[in-house]
C-alpha cells in the first residue's frame, strides 16, 4: 500500500514538473498584451504576468526575438522557447487550451477573423498616434464590426466560429476596449458583439 | 473532391504566397485574376471587401477564406509546409507575422502618392526598416542546416519572404550584399523543383 502511494506521489510530482509554465512579458498596458492575458487566465495554467516599466524596456529589448513585446516564454521540461508576435502567441496557447478550431477549416476561419482584427488594431494605433481617429469612428470601426456582427449572426450561437469560445472571440472582446468612452453607445448597433463581450468578461478567470 | 479558386488581381502582391503554395504542393487550382474595373463586383463577394480570397468547394459546400496569411497557413497545414509540432509551428507563425509587418511597411511605400513623401518613406525603408527586419531573418537562416528557416524543411514563410524579396525587384541585390543567408534562401526557393517550373511560366508583373 505504501509503495503504491509512493508511486502516486511520484507520478504527481513528475506530472507537475512536466507541465509547461508560461511567462508573458509586456508593458503594463492592454494594447497587444491584454487578450493574451485573457487567454492565459481562461486556461487556468500557471503563468507569470511579467509587466515591465517603459524605462526597463531598452535593456530588455535586445534579449527578445524581434526587439518587441509581447513575448511568451514557454518552459517545457528542459526546453525553453520564446514566441513573439501576439497572434502567433494567441494561436499557440489556443491550441494548447482548447480555444482553437476542431479542424483546419475552422482554424483558418479563426485565423482570418483574428488577422482582420489585427489589421484593425494596427490601423487604429497608427491613426491614434496621428490624432486622426474620426474616420475610424465614422467608417472603419463600423464597417469591420459589421463583418464581425454578420459572422456572429451567421454562426448563430454567440461565437464567431464553431460551437464554442475561440481565441478570436476573446480578441474581439478585448478590441471593444479601444472604443474607449464611446464603447457603450457604439455597441448598441452591434448587439451580438456586445453579448459576446459580456460573455467573455464574465468567464471565471477572466472576470 | 475539393476544388480551389483563388481570386486576386493580376499581380504578385499579397496573392502570390498562395500561388507559390499551390505550386510547391502540385495541387491544381483556378488562378482567377480580377480585372481592376471588375473589382467592385468581386469586392462584394469577399468576406472583408478585400483580395486575395480563396473559394473552397467540397461537393455542394462552398467556403470563402480571406486574409492572405490565414489562407497561407491553412494551405501550408494541408500540404505539409506548416512546420513540425506545435512549438515549431508557433515559431513559423512568429516569423510569418514579422514578415507581414515588413510587407505592410513596403505596402505603405507602394501606396504613397505624394512623390516627396514617397522618397522619404523609401529612404526610411532602405536605411532603417529593411535592415532591422532582415537582421532577424539572416540570424535565423544562418543557423539553418537546410538553408530554409527551419531544419524540418520548406515552410510557408520561406515562400513568403521569397515573394517579398521578389517585390523589391533589383533593389534586393543591394540587400543580398549584406544578408548572405537571405540571398541563399532566395536562390534555394527559386531552384526548388516545382516552384522553379512555376516561376518559369507565371505571368510577368511588376508588382
CA distance A86 to chain B (A): 8
Query: What distance in Å separates the CA atoms of residue A65 and residue B149, rounded to the nearest whole number?
Result: 14
- CATH class of residue range A2-96: alpha beta
pTM: 0.92
Fold assignment, A100-201: Glutathione S-transferase Yfyf (Class Pi); Chain A, domain 2 (1.20.1050)
B91 backbone dihedrals φ, ψ, rounded to 5°: -70, -40
pLDDT by position in tens, chain B (length 207): 899 999 999 999 999 999 999 999 999 999 999 999 999 999 999 999 999 999 999 999 999 999 999 999 999 999 999 999 999 999 999 999 999 999 999 999 988 999 999 999 999 999 999 999 999 999 999 999 999 999 999 999 999 999 999 999 888 999 999 999 999 999 999 999 999 999 999 999 988
- Ramachandran class of B4: left when φ > 0, alpha when ψ lies in -120 to 50, beta otherwise: beta
Place of cell 455597441: A187
Half-sphere exposure of A154 (CA within 13 A, CB side): 11
Question: How far does Cα A152 stand from its chain's mean position?
Answer: 18
**Would you tell me which residues 43-62 of chain B have a C-beta closer than 8 angstroms to some C-beta of chain A?**
47-49, 56
List the single residue in A66, A83, A104 with the smallest CB-CB distance to B78.
A104
The grid cell for A138 is 465614422
Distance of CA B19 to the CA centre of its chain: 9
Residue in chain A nearest B73 by alpha carbon: A108
Among residues A8, B41, A55, the alpha carbon closest in space to that of B51 is found at B41
Phi-psi region of A44 (alpha: psi -120 to 50; beta: other; left: phi over 0): left
Q: Which of B49, B70, B90 sits opposite A111 (nearest CB)?
A: B70
ipTM of this predicted structure: 0.91
- For chain A, give every domain's residue range: 2-96, 100-201
Contacts of B94 in chain A (CB under 8 A): 65-66, 83-85, 88-89
Residues A200, A174: Cα–Cα separation, whole Å: 9
| Cβ within 8 Å of residue B74, ≥6 positions away | A104, A105, A107, A108, A111, B65
Of A22, A75, A81, A85, which to mutate for an interface test with B (greatest number of B Cβ within 10 Å)? A85
Grid-cell match 497545414, residue found: B77
Question: Looking at residue B72, what is its pLDDT?
Answer: 98
Q: Do A147 and B69 lie within an 8 Å CB cutoff?
A: no
What per-residue confidence (pLDDT) applies to B111?
87
> What is the rounded CA–CA span in Å between residue A17 and residue A8?
14
Which stretches in chain A have pLDDT values below 50?
Answer: none
Q: Could you tell me the domains of chain B?
A: 2-79+194-200 (3.40.30.10), 86-192 (1.20.1050.10)
Amino acid at each position: 500500500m505504501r509503495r503504491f502511494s509512493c508511486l502516486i506521489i511520484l507520478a504527481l510530482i513528475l506530472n507537475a514538473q512536466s507541465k509547461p509554465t508560461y511567462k508573458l512579458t509586456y508593458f503594463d498596458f492592454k494594447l497587444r498584451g491584454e487578450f493574451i492575458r485573457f487567454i492565459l487566465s481562461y486556461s487556468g495554467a500557471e503563468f507569470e504576468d511579467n509587466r515591465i516599466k517603459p524605462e526597463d524596456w531598452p535593456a530588455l529589448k535586445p534579449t527578445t526575438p524581434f526587439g518587441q513585446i509581447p513575448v511568451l516564454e514557454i518552459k517545457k521540461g528542459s526546453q525553453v522557447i520564446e514566441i513573439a508576435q501576439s497572434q502567433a502567441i494567441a494561436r499557440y496557447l489556443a491550441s494548447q487550451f482548447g480555444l482553437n478550431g476542431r479542424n483546419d477549416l475552422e482554424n483558418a476561419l479563426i485565423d482570418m477573423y483574428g488577422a482582420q482584427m489585427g489589421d484593425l488594431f494596427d490601423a487604429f494605433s497608427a491613426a491614434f498616434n496621428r490624432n486622426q481617429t474620426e474616420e475610424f469612428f465614422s467608417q472603419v470601426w463600423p464597417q469591420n464590426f459589421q463583418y464581425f456582427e454578420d459572422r456572429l449572426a451567421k454562426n448563430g450561437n454567440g461565437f464567431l466560429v464553431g460551437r464554442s469560445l475561440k481565441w478570436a472571440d476573446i480578441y474581439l472582446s478585448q478590441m471593444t476596449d479601444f472604443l474607449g468612452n464611446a464603447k457603450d453607445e457604439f455597441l448598441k448597433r452591434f448587439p451580438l458583439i456586445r453579448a459576446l463581450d459580456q460573455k467573455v468578461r464574465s468567464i471565471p478567470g477572466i472576470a | 473532391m475539393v476544388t480551389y479558386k483563388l481570386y486576386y488581381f493580376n499581380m504578385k502582391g499579397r496573392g502570390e504566397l498562395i500561388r507559390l503554395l499551390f505550386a510547391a504542393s502540385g495541387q491544381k487550382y483556378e488562378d482567377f485574376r480580377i480585372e481592376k474595373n471588375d473589382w467592385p463586383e468581386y469586392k462584394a463577394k469577399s468576406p472583408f471587401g478585400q483580395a486575395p480570397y480563396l473559394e473552397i468547394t467540397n461537393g455542394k459546400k462552398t467556403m470563402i477564406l480571406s486574409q492572405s496569411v490565414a489562407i497561407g497557413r491553412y494551405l501550408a497545414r494541408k500540404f505539409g509546409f506548416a512546420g513540425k509540432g506545435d512549438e515549431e509551428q508557433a515559431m513559423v507563425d512568429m516569423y510569418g507575422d514579422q514578415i507581414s509587418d515588413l510587407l505592410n511597411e513596403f505596402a505603405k511605400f507602394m501606396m504613397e502618392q505624394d512623390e516627396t513623401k514617397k522618397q522619404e518613406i523609401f529612404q526610411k525603408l532602405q536605411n532603417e526598416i529593411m535592415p532591422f527586419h532582415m537582421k532577424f531573418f539572416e540570424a535565423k537562416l544562418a543557423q539553418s542546416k537546410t538553408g530554409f528557416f527551419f531544419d524540418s524543411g520548406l515552410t510557408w514563410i520561406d515562400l513568403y519572404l521569397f515573394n517579398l524579396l521578389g517585390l523589391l525587384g533589383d533593389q534586393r541585390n543591394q540587400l543580398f550584399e549584406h544578408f548572405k543567408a537571405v540571398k541563399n534562401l532566395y536562390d534555394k526557393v527559386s531552384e526548388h523543383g516545382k516552384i522553379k517550373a512555376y516561376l518559369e511560366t507565371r505571368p510577368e508583373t511588376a508588382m
